Structure 1
């Protein structure tokens, strides 16, 4: 499962059958905007398309994760999401599994559980509370 593929039956429930999914996802991203200007979201059959201009690679990745970690979304397309600045940090992506904690993820990927705060900071738009992560949720892990 790559950065752009998600589990449609998992994630944050943002919309119901009478809601416009694109509008709800756009509101969700704008509420904690990671740095995307001229954001536009469309949704068709579980596929969210994100467009706009991201200030950097982190903003690009966070917008994708915020759109994809929503119940009912199984894929995110970002062909028209432009990046202003090139990537400067190396990251990997991780899909949360049952029983995971940010401490454990930090221990496994960063070699020190106390570095869970770095993972939380790198995902603060995606994770609202470091104690509330859920299986299937995708996050960024900064490696440098």
Structure 2
């Protein structure tokens, strides 16, 4: 799980472009919604966010990367220095970038076969999506299988 690309011009705004303490603000936002990462270090250089730390699981690692990447001003995330235990069975996860007109209901219908399963997508992304009624174009989320 190396470099993930994101749309730097969209996302949750937690810092101003060029802020000296942008990495600290990204770190504070991740820790406030902690997906299961400890000893987190964040650096940001030219829209590339590099993360280091110890994750409780592969899922926690994925969520940490998504949380950093879904912030305005972050164009890609390098998560190679995030450690996570190797699972016995690699979880099947697909990533999806929200498009104009999308709803979690519609995404659930498309990927899970039934719109009423949208809480599964929300639960898999609750650290990334703070409110199921507030998703934004360009946001990258996990689709559990």
- Distance of 1:29 and 1:19 partners within structure 2: 18
Confirm or deny: 8 A CA contact 1:3 1:93 kept in the other structure: no
Q: Give me the CA root mean square deviation.
A: 1.5
Task: Tell me if structure 1 keeps the 8 A contact 2:22–2:44.
Answer: yes
User: What is the alpha-carbon distance in structure 2 between the residues aligned to residue 56 and residue 80 of structure 1?
Assistant: 14
* TM-score normalised by length of structure 2: 0.93
Once the two structures are overlaid, the 10-residue window that deviates more, 34-43 or 10-19, is: 10-19
Misfit runs of 4+, over 6 Å: none
Partners of 1:68 and 1:74 lie apart in 2 by: 7
Match of 2:22 in 1: 21
Unaligned runs of 5+ in 1: none
Equivalent of 1:107 in 95, 106, 109: 109
Per the TM alignment, residue 85 of structure 1 is displaced from its structure 2 partner at its CA by 4.0
Aligned length: 142
Unaligned runs of 5+ in 2: none
SS in 2 for 1:4: strand
Q: How far apart are 1:21 and its partner, in Å?
A: 1.0
